[in-house]
Amino acid sequence: MQCVRAWRSLNYLCRVGHHRAWKRTQSHTAAARLDLSGIYPPIATPFTAKEDVDYQKLEENLQKYAKIPFKGLVVQGSNGEYPYLTVEERVEVVRTVKQSLLGGRLLIAGSGCESTRATIQLTQKMAAAGADAVLVVTPCFYKGKMDSRALIHHFTKLADSSPVPVVLYSVPANTGLELPLDAVVELSQHPNILGVKDSGGDITRIGLIVHKTKAQDFQVLAGSAGFLMAAYCVGKKSNTRTAVPHRDALVTRKLGVPALKQAMEWFGFHGGSCRSPLQPLTEAESQQLRRDFSSNGWL
């Protein structure tokens, strides 16, 4: 993820039009202190051949991640196959990762669910399991009704009750829904909303978010290497702090999580099986992926 940070001098701002302000409480001050600059790979969830979570392989991956100077890890992002995990599995994976993190590395845990109530409950469990912040995807099943009003209400209720800072997550390739710009700008004023991870790849939009939140301590995270350099330039021109994104678009955008897991195996990590209904790559897809890696000098 690429962090593009705009500094804020005020504790809170009034909501445009309604002049609503959120009171900063002691539990919300962490959002202002937590700096997300740095590399945060969104880790995969390894499964056994029977599609059980393979905690042993996960821990072995974590030992290898520990040798790389990441700022932290994203757990239960899109690459973690979180929609296919039970609530208990999602929490246990976060707990397992937390126990292996050393040196003050941050853990950002995905806690998004379809309902506000379920998201609040899971967020509280993720915080108890050790998450330093939560990454919350837009609810999307009723995407025709998920306008700015609904999404502002959803994220505001969550942020009001979350014991850890919240990072908004817009990933339209998976949800079919982009978090509206006006909603991002309004939600950026909440003292417990730390920033937004935008995986849409629209640099104009990312630039607008940075510009419209430049008076605030709001961090913009770009979720693909496909627009790393452009996002870096947006951050540089805005006199903001930047970091490096997490994943190469060749894998996840082209062939998805099955390709990511295959690539992990080639590079000495445990990818493991996917959980159904995701299927492994076909032989032709695997050969194409290998050719792509080879042509770029990675294999």
Selecting among 71, 98, 197, 261, the annotated active-site residue is 197
Within-domain flag for 267 = yes
Same domain, 224 and 260: no
Higher per-residue confidence, 30 vs 150: 150
Selecting among 57, 98, 169, 261, the annotated active-site residue is 169
The CATH number of the domain where 149 resides is what?
3.20.20.70
- Cα 101 to Cα 120: distance, rounded to the nearest angstrom: 25
8 A C-beta contact, residue 164 and residue 141: no
pLDDT value, residue 37: 83
Range of the domain at 285: 248-298
What angle separates helix 203-212 from helix 228-237, to the nearest 10 degrees?
Answer: 30
- Cα 181 to Cα 178: distance, rounded to the nearest angstrom: 9
Same domain, 171 and 134: yes
Same domain, 86 and 162: yes
pLDDT value, residue 225: 54
Within-domain flag for 141 = yes
Same domain, 185 and 195: yes
197 annotated active-site: yes
Within-domain flag for 81 = yes
Total count of domains within the chain:
2
Same domain, 124 and 266: no
pLDDT, mean of residues 268-283: 95
Same domain, 223 and 273: no
* 3 state DSSP class of 250: helix
Cis bond upstream, residue 277 (ω within 30): yes
Within-domain flag for 153 = yes
Is 90 exceeded by the pLDDT of residue 242? Answer: no
Span 113-151, pLDDT tens digits: 999 999 999 999 999 999 999 999 999 999 999 999 999
Same domain, 253 and 164: no
Higher per-residue confidence, 13 vs 219: 219
Within-domain flag for 266 = yes
* Percentage of residues of the chain with pLDDT beyond 70: 80
Same domain, 119 and 217: yes
Residue in this structure with the two tokens 């099955």, named with its chain if needed: 258
Span 64-85, pLDDT tens digits: 999 999 899 999 998 999 999 9
98 annotated active-site: no
In 3D space, the residue among 265, 298, 299 whose CA is nearest the CA of residue 281 turns out to be: 265
Same domain, 268 and 152: no
Span 173-221, pLDDT tens digits: 899 999 999 999 999 999 999 999 988 777 788 888 988 998 888 988 8
Same domain, 128 and 254: no
pTM for this entry: 0.85
